[in-house]
Structure 1
Amino acid sequence: MKLKTIIISAALLISHAVNASEHSRQIDIDNQVVTKHKTKILGERINYTATTGTQPVWDEEGHPIATLHYTYYKKTDVKDISKRPLLISFNGGPGSASVWMHIAYTGPKTLNIDTEGYPVQPYGVQTNPYSVLDVADIVFVNPVNTGYSRVLPNKDGKMPSKAEQKKRFFGVNADIKYLAEWLNTFVNRNNRFLSPKFLIGESYGTTRVSGLAHELQNSQWMYLNGVVLVSPTDIGIKRQGPVKAANRLPYYAAAAWYHKALAPELQNKDLLDVLEEVETYTINQYLPALAKGAFISDAEKQQTIKQVAKFSGLSETFVAQNNLDIPTSAFWKELLRGRGQTLGRLDSRYLGIDKRDAGSRPDYWPELTSWLHSFTPAINYYLREELNYKTDIKYNMFGSVHPWDRTNNNTGEQLRLAMAQNPYLNVLVQAGYYDGATNYFDAKYTMWQLDPSAKMRDRLSFKGYRSGHMMYLRRADLEQSNQDLREFIQNALPNGKSAKY
């Protein structure tokens, strides 16, 4: 909402008090604020502009039905913008704003937090010396009802029904369709059609960007150079039954190792050495044992119980009571029960305290409350005071988007097909070892299953980090994950190579 200084009479004040609708809290449908900045990334001075504002989503008749808030960082003094990569960033949820990666991962600013990612007062932001703004311009996009983005009244001035909103915006395929249209407009407005383009999504955002890679190529004729999946969901590649149960064990081992809950023979090893051993056991022995179900032999079952307990830090009794299949909620409650602490879901380095040590699941998620501590004040301060974007609209960290239509989720297959159609398209998977919501071994499994032909495996890569869902919160991983992303972007540029097999 644009702010204006107006001097009015008492009579007009009374008139405006009566016409309260003129002062309704609304976001401007199509606006932008541009500010100039400078920073230092990897020792190099970078001058850039930050454009933050809104751009409409239109229906088939050209009527605005929503407006999306975005922030676009562009390096200045670039001689040839056609050679300058553009990184398009989404978070997930569904229903989550773009705040997380915006002010904690790739952007020019990062949170005031300690080196392990815990909140520190006073809240706010600081320079991100590892941002990839040195190698790519970045736009952070907030889907409908997240951040400042909002559904708009229809042409008759009425808000669409919940059913209408769900059909247009709140589902796997609706989300992909309208965002692809929106990106076409953004790219044209900012003269970026010739630029190499990359999508990055975190959590549910990986479902979004996997589908967008295909939709952009096949409906908008916009071809990409790369897709980055940060802490990915299953992207429609199912992990059920024994696979779902077995894939948790490497994550359990990582969390137990971090909290020094393993036997000395494992605890004294480096984490990656432990995980290599657990992954091998998971694929070759644990998964086959689970597949046998009730018809596993007594001897094999007892051996499996013993080995799973060893790798998970849980007791053999607890593993047996769960028939070898330990739910994540039970693990978060059980591992440190004797210490009177629970584990975080999205990042199991974080500890919680429950009302009772008894029970089968934690009372709350300590990592999420910790993150909201620092992210919420920081993004509200940053957009308003440093980027000069002022509005009375509430910034939705999590917006109202449910019920979300999850039917017909074929985004993994859509990403595979997009890669097959486009020899330039590469995929990078990034995951934290201590993430219990979208665990790193599931991420590896998804990557393995993405292209069963193995004809494109040289264009698929995985990077793991010693942190959780938002691996970039830990300072060492902020540096490493940005460097991995920087190298991925640079290596995915064709540099004169033709797009052919």
Structure 2
Amino acid sequence: MSHTLIEHTTTHTASIGGEAVTFCAVCDEYPLPSSDGQCTGSVFSISYLVKDGTPERPVLFIFNGGPGSSSLWMHLGLFGPQTLAYRDEFDLPVAPPFLLEENGDCMLDLCDIVLIDPPGTGFGCSGASSGAYASYQKDAELFCDYIHHWLDKHGRWQAPKYLVGESYGSLRAARILDIIGGCTENQLNAIGFDGAIILGNAIGCADEEGILRNGIERSLLQLPSFAAVSAYHGVSSYADPMQAFREAQGFCAGTYLHALYQGERLSVADCTAVAEKLHALTGLSAPLLQAHRLKLSAELYIRYALESRGQCPGLYDGRYAADAPLDLGEMDSVGDDAAMSRYTPAFTGAFNGPARQFLDIRSTRSYCPINFKLNADWDMSYHGKTPAQSLAAAMRRSPQLRLFFGSGVFDLITTAGETAYAVDHIPMDLSRVVVKEYLSGHMPYLGKEARRALTQDLREFIQPASAHR
């Protein structure tokens, strides 16, 4: 493969917290060499670095998930100095114009930001050797190599370091933390990290053979998010989504847990009472719930939650709703989801338009937001350690390592309940773990109020490490 690497730097100034902050935007490609020295794929990154900043400033290494996703979503949704412009999260354009605006919540005054696109995503190139990294293990090893390269290139070994992973990126972050503090196949790494920030956590969903095997009935972990979505849409007995979420958590910890444990031995009277409570929380009919033995699933909830309106809520963000599908043929996992179909055009349009201009990227290469072939070909073999086990190992090795989990209560893909359960059952020091919920979806920063709350919590999480440096 032969192509011109995208490597250049531009300088900008932004107003952050009422202060002018001058920074450099460094676009860089990390080629994957073959045995003959030719570039056969690449990692692409955009680094936002405060001009004349000290080498001891904290650094965030940021990536989305998929697998096969670029860092577009966290770039233009949360961390970039320019983010997607919208009045509210339900008014995102699906056709031009797509605009950016200065991100008043940007954290560049506190830390430097590195957004990473693995091979085959974003501007990261696929090639003869890039497929060798399409696995849970090799992908994490490549990220370790890239972080090592970035620290060398920018002289930042003394900086507090944080990983930020979203969705599948939570699994990637867990494995990176494990092997970057120890060894890859070829070398000792021993790179210490101060923390990891996990958004839209998938670790609990991906650990059925490890620490969380034989875990709790998933109905209990999903109900709080179902309750929040139903309250949002006004189809339950609750008007406040967060109140419904908390009420469902309490119900799950007691009565609902006991009822599911009893199974067919549950009395008719108790079954009726539990079904009525579930109806109050979700709006699903008591007879439907009894017919399904009081057990819930995302498929059941999506189908019936808004049935009276002829709609279905979005899996990625239940606040969005779309007309229930008729005979439309094969469904598109993104285009036909009520949430993803509403916000993906704005993100991709804004990057390929104003963001490319802002960064002065003149390459004719296409930017790939999500590579579904890469996703389909991905090898999820865990090689002896599940993500939960890797996270536990990393926390055991490093007494300074801290974790932050941020979930959207309207996320029906990786629910806040599954995150809370996973955190409580991974053997690690919980005094070093922060768990937060936000009134948003799978991307817990979608919505300006949610983004502001999340950013404030992240500032508080990062500042302890930066204060003593």
| TM-score, with structure 2 as normaliser | 0.90
Pairs within 5 Å for 1:6-405:
27-29=3-5, 31-58=6-33, 64-78=39-53, 80-81=54-55, 83-120=56-93, 121-152=96-127, 159=128, 166=131, 168-219=132-183, 220-234=189-203, 236-238=206-208, 242-263=216-237, 266-267=238-239, 270-356=240-326, 364-399=336-371, 400-401=373-374, 402-405=376-379
Deviation string 1:301-328 (CA, Å, 9 cap, x unpaired) is 2222222222111110121222212221
Identical pairs, percent: 26
CA distance, structure 1, for counterparts of residue 22 and residue 340 of structure 2? 34
Counterpart residue type for residue 398 of structure 1? I
SS of corresponding position for 2:77: coil
Task: Report the alpha carbon displacement of residue 101 of structure 1 after superposing the two structures with TM.
Answer: 0.3
Match of 2:186 in 1: none
SS of corresponding position for 1:134: coil
CA distance, structure 2, for counterparts of residue 447 and residue 282 of structure 1? 17
Match of 2:461 in 1: 488
Match of 2:388 in 1: 412
Deviation string 1:23-50 (CA, Å, 9 cap, x unpaired) is x9x6434x41100000011212110000
5+ unaligned residues in a row in structure 1: which ranges? Answer: 1-23, 153-158, 497-501
Match of 1:8 in 2: none
Answer yes or no: is the 8 Å Cα contact 1:47–1:75 preserved in 2: yes
- Check 1:193–1:58 CA distance in 2 against 1; reply closer, same or farther (3 A cut): farther
Deviation string 1:192-236 (CA, Å, 9 cap, x unpaired) is 111110000111111111111111111321100010000100254
- Check 1:59–1:462 CA distance in 2 against 1; reply closer, same or farther (3 A cut): farther
Task: Report the alpha carbon displacement of residue 391 of structure 1 after superposing the two structures with TM.
Answer: 1.7
SS of corresponding position for 2:46: strand
SS of corresponding position for 2:28: strand
CA distance, structure 1, for counterparts of residue 406 and residue 353 of structure 2? 29
- Check 1:372–1:325 CA distance in 2 against 1; reply closer, same or farther (3 A cut): same
SS of corresponding position for 1:437: coil
Deviation string 1:164-193 (CA, Å, 9 cap, x unpaired) is x55x21121121111111211111111111
Answer yes or no: is the 8 Å Cα contact 2:203–2:387 preserved in 1: no
SS of corresponding position for 1:218: coil
SS of corresponding position for 1:441: helix
Answer yes or no: is the 8 Å Cα contact 2:21–2:109 preserved in 1: yes
- Check 1:362–1:205 CA distance in 2 against 1; reply closer, same or farther (3 A cut): closer
- Which 10-residue stretch deviates more, 416-425 or 33-42? 416-425
- Which 10-residue stretch deviates more, 399-408 or 365-374? 399-408
- Check 1:28–1:251 CA distance in 2 against 1; reply closer, same or farther (3 A cut): same
CA distance, structure 2, for counterparts of residue 341 and residue 421 of structure 1? 49
Answer yes or no: is the 8 Å Cα contact 2:242–2:439 preserved in 1: no
- Which 10-residue stretch deviates more, 376-385 or 236-245? 236-245
Counterpart residue type for residue 72 of structure 1? S
Name which of 408, 423, 427 aligns with 1:432.
408
Answer yes or no: is the 8 Å Cα contact 1:305–1:316 preserved in 2: yes
- Check 1:262–1:287 CA distance in 2 against 1; reply closer, same or farther (3 A cut): same
SS of corresponding position for 1:245: helix
SS of corresponding position for 1:133: coil
CA distance, structure 2, for counterparts of residue 94 and residue 287 of structure 1? 33
Task: Report the alpha carbon displacement of residue 58 of structure 1 after superposing the two structures with TM.
Answer: 4.0
Deviation string 1:413-436 (CA, Å, 9 cap, x unpaired) is 212211221121110000111011
CA distance, structure 2, for counterparts of residue 294 and residue 99 of structure 1? 48
- Check 1:284–1:356 CA distance in 2 against 1; reply closer, same or farther (3 A cut): same
Answer yes or no: is the 8 Å Cα contact 1:251–1:434 preserved in 2: yes
CA distance, structure 2, for counterparts of residue 276 and residue 185 of structure 1? 44
Deviation string 1:106-158 (CA, Å, 9 cap, x unpaired) is 11111022223531352021100001111000000001211011233xxxxxx
CA distance, structure 1, for counterparts of residue 116 and residue 21 of structure 2? 22
- Check 1:362–1:71 CA distance in 2 against 1; reply closer, same or farther (3 A cut): closer
CA distance, structure 2, for counterparts of residue 362 and residue 241 of structure 1? 31
Answer yes or no: is the 8 Å Cα contact 2:227–2:281 preserved in 1: yes
Structure with higher Rg: it is 1
Deviation string 1:88-109 (CA, Å, 9 cap, x unpaired) is 0010011111000001101111
5+ unaligned residues in a row in structure 2: which ranges? Answer: 184-188
SS of corresponding position for 2:98: coil
| Alignment coverage as a number of residue pairs | 450
